Each structure stands twice: as structure tokens, then as C-alpha cells.
Amino acid sequence: MTLAQRKLSDKIYGAKSMDYIPRRVLESLFARLPKAALRDRLCAMRALADAHGVRYVDDEGRRRIIDIALKPWVLTSLQLRTFQRMIHQLVRALARLPHLYATYPALRQVISFSSEQEAWLRLRPTTQDTPLAVIGRLDASVAYDQAGWRSSLKMLEPNAVGVGGIHYAPTACGILMEVIGDQLRRVLSGRTISPSPDPRDLLFEELQAVAKRLHRRLRAVALIENRDYTTGTDEFSSLAEDIESRGLKAIVADPRDLRLVRGEVRFGSTRVDLLYRDSELSEFIEMESTGRRLSALREAVRRGQLISSLKWEFDQKSAWEIFTDETYARCFSPSQRRCFREHLLWTRLVREAQVTNPTGCVVDLPRFIRRHKDRLVLKPTSLFGGEGVVIGAGVSQQQWESQLMRALNGKQRYVVQTLAQLPREQTPRLIDGKVQMASCRAVSGFFFNSSRIGLVGRFSSKPVVNVSQGGGLIGALWVH
């Protein structure tokens, strides 16, 4: 770093080096850009998102371009290392759930499976997976640009199967660097800027690690998805292109199209070595209910060829109850328990029961939920995309109690959780053709495999932040 660069850095960050990038740094970037220049860059972001297929298909079959925020998140190396340690504390705890499920009968009320799901789960190898055979995402609330960034981390829920954003996240970062990279390099003078770790790398690493453990030569991968669903994001074709660019054959297939030929899983004439899935176990069961037995997929499960493996079906939102209930504290290490206390939101499966509240006092759960509406949120245990989420502060007491009764008496299981205080992001947006600084809520998505993490942000003006609810993406960059 030159003397001039060092003086500029000291002016922006202070003479002492900081372990985060303060909010004022990026705010200064957008404050000095004329509105015409911001408009041009916002239009360029949208055009590039369209060109790179960053789109969402709604229930009516309409395609919309997913917005990418012009203002990125910028993390330091220390932040990435710190979050990696925190995330993998939780990942290792989640990996213990199958063992705890088999050991503690009472836990099976909190984590629940149907008889059909149980039968599938018995297919998976009983040995400990090393590596974990997983590509997942943990959703969280974090304020990266504040001094209290460590303590601000609050984990919302786990998602270890069929995670979205593996292609969109690095694509958003690439678009950001193309459109606003020149300004970022100016305001972060003297620092190397790159995208946060690419989740496509995490997927490829896990494929290689699992193949090595199975002593299989990795030549072809099947990306399996349920072709009955035609809405939502569509990343698999792009992921297949990325995998093929790395020297492997990659096919996108419905699990019903796989065949078992002379003991090997095949798609057409191609022998498939590993399968990466977008579908949950409930979808496999639904497919078989029509009379089509998924023999090839079952054999892949037995052999440990499925990523994420069926052990990650234990990623139900109610898992947070196990981690935050003192009943099971002895099952986890001191560092894991500390992580739970500091970073997990109080969560309980909704049922008629006496449980501990956020302060550790024993309460009647339905009565507690009724009385503390404005501090709580109700969520289905296994749905995704923000579907079925009810925020107490946003509904009347009558609506809240009606939803509570459905949670208590309906077929769909729910959890109740402390309402997270999501950070607000100020970012330039095109609204009715004009540039405006918009205030949006933001949620972090930490990708993980057996050893590393990546990151993507989502933003929305709505209380429930999700791309399926009309939200957009925030690129996560890294300053070295």
C-alpha cells in the first residue's frame, strides 16, 4: 500500500485497523455518484441479471428478473473465518440429530417422520459420513457493518436439502463487480476485493470428497429434481454447465428417469456416480405413491451416493428446540452450547405442552403464544419460500389465535420462534423509473459443505424476506 493509499485508508477506517467495513464507507460511494450514473448502473444490473438467467417463475408461469442490490455486503477475512467457525458448530450439531433421534424417544415428538419416511431413512448407511455429504444453507440475521457484528448473528432456520442460490449467488457477485467494481476499488483503495467463496466450488468439493470416500472414480453426476414442479427458481441447467466446465459429465434428471442396470445407477446410457438432489424425501414418497418404485434412487441411498444424504432430512425447523432446551444440553460440547445460547433464536414445536420460555421459566406453551403475539412468529416446520409464515406483530389477536389453532389441530406441524430483528439496508433502487434510496429488510444465507462456507443475501420491503415473496439478492464480497 502506498503512503497516499494508507492515508486514505486511515481517513476512512480510522488509524487503527478495523475488523469490519463500516456502513459509512459504502454510503459515501453512493452519496457522491450522480443519480444519472446510479440509474445507468441499476439498468445495467437488471440487463445483466436477465442475460444470465437470474429469474423466478411464479405460480402463473410468469417470469420475472430477480433484482440484485447495487449495494453489496463487504466482509473482512476475519469475519469470514469467524462465521465459518460458528456455522460449522451448528452443522456438526445438526449431524448428531439422527443419533439423538435413535437414542431419546421423547425427541421424536419434536423431530417427526411418517412411517414411509422412516422406511427410507433406514436405507441410509449407518456409518458416520465423513465427509458429511451435504450442501446446505443456514439462514440468519446479521449486521456486518457494525461494531457488534459477532453478537448480531441470530440463526433463523436450517435448510440442508435443495437449497436455492448456488448459481445465483456467484452470478450476482460477478454482475456487481462488472457494474460497480470500479467504484468499490476506489472507496476500498489498497484492498483486494473478490466474491465471497463460490457455493458452486462447495458443491464440486463435496462431490469429489464423497467420491473419494466411496472409492469411486467420479465421471458423471446427476442433478435430480422433481419435474412436476415448474415454478420457482431454475438453477440446475446452469449448475450442470458449471460442473461440465470442470471436466465432469452432468445431467439434469427426474429421479423417476433413473434406472438400475447391472447394479449401477444409470440415466439412459450414462452411468451415474453421484446424485445431487433438489427434492425432499416427501417428494420421493409422493412419486412412489403413484406406483413408480424408485429402485435406482433407493440403491444410491444405500450406497451413500446421494448429496445431501438422507441424514439431512433432520433439518426441520423444530431442531432449534433441541438445541435450546436444557434437557439435551449434555449431548453437545461446551462450545456448541455457547453457540446455541448466543446465536439461536428461542424455538418450540407448537403443541399442548409445558415448555421453558426464552428466560428459562416453565410455561404453558399455547397460553404463552397467545399472550406474547408481538414478540413471536409462527412457521411451518418443513415448508420453504416463506410459505405459511405468520408474524404476530403484523396480524390481529383474532388472526393470531386462529393461526395458533390451525397449528395445534391441523396436519401441518408448526414452530413458534422469537421474532428476529432483521437489519435494514439502504440501497439505491429504480422505482417507477426514478432512483430512490430504499430501506429494505435483509436476511443472510450461509452455504455450507463439510469444510467451508459461502454467503448470499436476500432483501425485501416485505416482512418475510424471500425471493419467492418478491425479494431480491444481495451480493457478498470479501476484502482481503
Task: Grade residue 234 by pLDDT with cuts at 50, 70 and 90.
Answer: confident
pLDDT at 8 over 50: no
384 within domain boundaries: yes
394 within domain boundaries: yes
pLDDT confidence of residue 17: 52
Please name which of 160, 149, 163 lies closest in space to residue 73, comparing C-alpha atoms.
149
pLDDT at 462 over 90: no
383 within domain boundaries: yes
Record the cell numbers describing residue 358, joined without a space.
Answer: 426464552
3-state secondary structure (DSSP) of residue 418: strand
For 350-379, how does the pLDDT look when each residue is reduced to its tens digit (9 = 90+)? Answer: 999 999 999 999 999 999 999 999 999 999
Q: How many domains does the chain have?
A: 1
Q: Which residue has the higher pLDDT, 332 or 12?
A: 332
pLDDT at 6 over 50: no
Residue 384 CA neighbour count, 13 Å, CB half: 19
Task: Grade residue 128 by pLDDT with cuts at 50, 70 and 90.
Answer: low
pLDDT at 392 over 90: yes
Q: Determine the structural domain holding residue 382 and report its residue range.
A: 346-418
For 393-438, how does the pLDDT look when each residue is reduced to its tens digit (9 = 90+)? Answer: 999 999 999 999 999 998 889 999 999 999 998 889 888 888 988 8
Task: Grade residue 3 by pLDDT with cuts at 50, 70 and 90.
Answer: very low
290 within domain boundaries: no
293 within domain boundaries: no
pLDDT at 194 over 50: yes
pLDDT at 18 over 90: no
Distance CA 342, CA 8 (A): 36
Strands 220-224 and 249-253: parallel
Record the cell numbers describing residue 388, joined without a space.
Answer: 405459511
84 within domain boundaries: no
For 255-297, how does the pLDDT look when each residue is reduced to its tens digit (9 = 90+)? Answer: 999 999 999 999 999 999 999 999 999 999 999 999 889 999 9
Single-letter code of the amino acid located at 304 = G
Residue pointed to by grid coordinates 427458481? 233
Percentage of the chain beyond pLDDT 70 is 95
Omega into 34 within 30° of 0, i.e. cis? no
393 within domain boundaries: yes
Mean of all residue pLDDT scores within the chain: 91
Please name which of 463, 459, 364, 380 lies closest in space to residue 417, comparing C-alpha atoms.
380
77 within domain boundaries: no
Task: Grade residue 11 by pLDDT with cuts at 50, 70 and 90.
Answer: very low
CATH number at residue 371: 3.30.1490
